[in-house]
Every structure is written in structure tokens, then in C-alpha cells.
């Protein structure tokens, strides 16, 4: 499994891109969607709620933590396994109580799932170094 | 407001305000989506920070989102435990989500 992460401030734009893609490649792109600590699994609506919540704290300038979990094409992973790995990762990062939108894609040979995490005011402006791009473990 | 030539903001200054004045400043800073420090600095330097138009609706969406998250948990428990009114919770959650969608 490979994890890649970056921070941004664009909740709904990112969510819409994950669902629809850049052009007309939306069909078959999304394998499944889910959420954590949100009232809906709709990625765009969930992202809108996350943005509204983030707006309550003006100190967090990059409230979106975008993680991508990718598996090897030969890994026999189904939705339950992918969600389990995602939950384990969120727990390891101390993000299990954060609002999260999960969008799994089926548009590549390798199964992968995107996680949009709203960083909590208690976390500050983002996550500590070591959880950023290039610092993720390759297993 | 940008700092020229990477100059550090190393000097602190103090301004005396009445409690009412401070409350107004804090409210206006939050309404403009800025920290109190940024708001005061920009205002002192001649800027007029504008009120963010979506501040009120963001607050409503935020609180409805919190309510919806709790309602979803209740609905899930009701379904899992076979409560006769489980469908009512699902319906209430759907209505709440539709309300959020309709907020401009």
C-alpha cells in the first residue's frame, strides 16, 4: 500500500473532481463512496458541510487533508478491506473523529481510495511533518 | 495584507478599547473571515475588510451538519436494533440534507 498526502483549502472543487474527473471520464470512475462523521455519503454535499465547518475557524488556512491510498493491481482488496485500511490509517494519524469523505476509484488498474479529511481546529493548520508527501510509508 | 521583502512583524503595539469596542472588533473580524490581528492590522493600514457573504449560511450549514451527523447515528442504531420508527429517522435525515442542499 502506498499513501500520498497533501493539504489544500478547496473542499467542494476537489470533491467534484474526484466524482466527475476533468472531462467526460465520469462514467465508471467511482467504485464507491463513504464518509465518516458526516450526515451523508454524498461527496459534494459532505465537502460543502466540511467547508462550512472549517469556516468557523479562521486560523486554519488549509483545512483539507487529501490522502490517497493505493494498492497494488494484484492486491485482492474489496471495499470492506479498503475501508478497513482507511480507518486504520485515520486512527494511526489520530483523525478517527474528523469529518472524512472517501471516494474509491475504479479508473486505474490499481485500486485506490481518496480521503478528504477536514483538519480539526485542535490540530492547528494541518498535520505534523512526517505525514506529508514523501513521508508516507511504502509497504 | 502582504508583507514586503519578507519583513518580519516583530513589533507589538497596544490599543486600549472598551469591552463593547472589543466585542465589535471581534465580531467584525469574524464576519470578514479574518483573525482579530489581521483585521486590526489591515484596518489600521487603510483597508476596509469586506464582510464575507457566506458567513451566515456557513454557520447554518455547520450546525445542520452536526445535527445531521447525530441524527444519522441515531437512525443507524434504530435500523440495526429493529426499532419500529427507524424509517422516521431516515426520513428526517433526508429532509435535513435537502434543507442543506437548498441553502445558497
Query: Is A130 inside any structural domain?
Result: no
* Residue matched to cell numbers 485515520: A90
Number of Cβ pairs closer than 8 Å across A and B?
Answer: 55
Query: Which of B55, B59, B101 has the CB atom closest to A45's CB atom?
Result: B101
Q: What is the pLDDT of residues B44-54, one digit of tens each?
A: 888 877 666 56
The pLDDT of residue B96: 96
Q: How far apart, in Å, do the first and last CA atoms of chain B sit?
A: 29
* B59-84 pLDDT, tens digit each: 899 999 999 999 999 999 999 999 98
Q: Convert the pLDDT of each residue in A36-68 to its tens digit.
A: 999 999 999 999 999 888 888 777 667 888 888
Contact at CB, A45 and B34, closer than 8 angstroms: no
Domain boundaries, chain B: 13-52, 55-102
pTM: 0.71
ipTM of the complex: 0.76
In a domain, A137, yes or no: no
B26 touches chain A (CB under 8 A): no
Q: The domain spanning residue A99 has which CATH number?
A: 3.30.930.30
Average pLDDT of chain A is 80
Q: Report if residue A133 sits inside a domain.
A: no
Q: Which of B35, B64, B96 lies nearest to residue A59, judging by beta carbons?
A: B35
Distance from CA of B17 to the nearest CA of A (A): 22
What residue numbers bound the domain in which A19 lies?
2-123
Q: How many domains does chain A have?
A: 1
Residue A119 lies in a domain: yes
Amino acid at each position: 500500500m502506498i499513501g500520498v498526502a497533501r493539504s489544500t483549502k478547496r473542499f467542494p472543487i476537489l470533491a467534484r473532481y474526484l466524482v466527475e474527473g476533468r472531462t467526460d471520464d465520469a462514467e465508471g470512475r467511482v467504485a464507491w463512496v463513504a464518509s465518516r462523521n458526516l450526515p451523508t455519503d454524498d461527496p459534494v454535499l459532505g465537502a460543502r458541510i466540511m467547508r462550512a465547518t472549517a469556516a468557523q475557524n479562521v486560523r486554519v488556512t488549509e483545512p483539507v487533508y487529501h490522502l490517497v491510498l493505493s494498492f497494488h493491481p494484484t492486491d485482492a482488496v474489496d471495499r470492506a478491506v479498503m475501508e478497513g485500511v482507511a480507518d486504520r490509517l485515520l486512527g494511526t494519524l489520530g483523525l478517527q473523529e474528523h469529518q472524512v469523505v472517501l471516494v474509491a476509484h475504479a479508473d486505474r488498474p490499481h485500486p485506490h481510495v481518496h480521503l478528504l479529511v477536514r483538519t480539526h481546529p485542535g490540530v492547528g493548520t494541518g498535520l505534523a511533518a512526517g505525514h506529508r508527501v514523501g513521508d508516507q510509508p511504502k509497504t | 495584507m502582504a508583507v514586503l521583502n519578507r519583513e518580519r512583524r516583530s513589533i507589538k503595539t497596544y490599543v486600549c478599547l472598551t469591552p463593547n469596542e472589543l466585542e465589535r472588533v471581534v465580531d467584525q473580524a469574524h464576519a470578514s473571515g479574518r483573525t482579530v490581528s489581521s483585521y486590526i492590522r489591515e484596518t489600521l493600514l487603510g483597508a476596509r475588510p469586506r464582510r464575507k457573504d457566506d458567513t451566515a449560511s456557513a454557520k447554518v450549514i455547520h450546525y445542520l451538519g452536526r445535527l445531521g451527523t447525530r441524527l444519522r447515528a441515531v437512525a443507524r442504531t434504530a435500523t440495526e436494533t429493529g426499532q419500529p420508527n427507524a424509517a422516521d429517522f431516515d426520513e428526517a435525515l433526508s429532509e435535513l440534507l435537502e434543507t442543506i442542499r437548498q441553502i445558497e
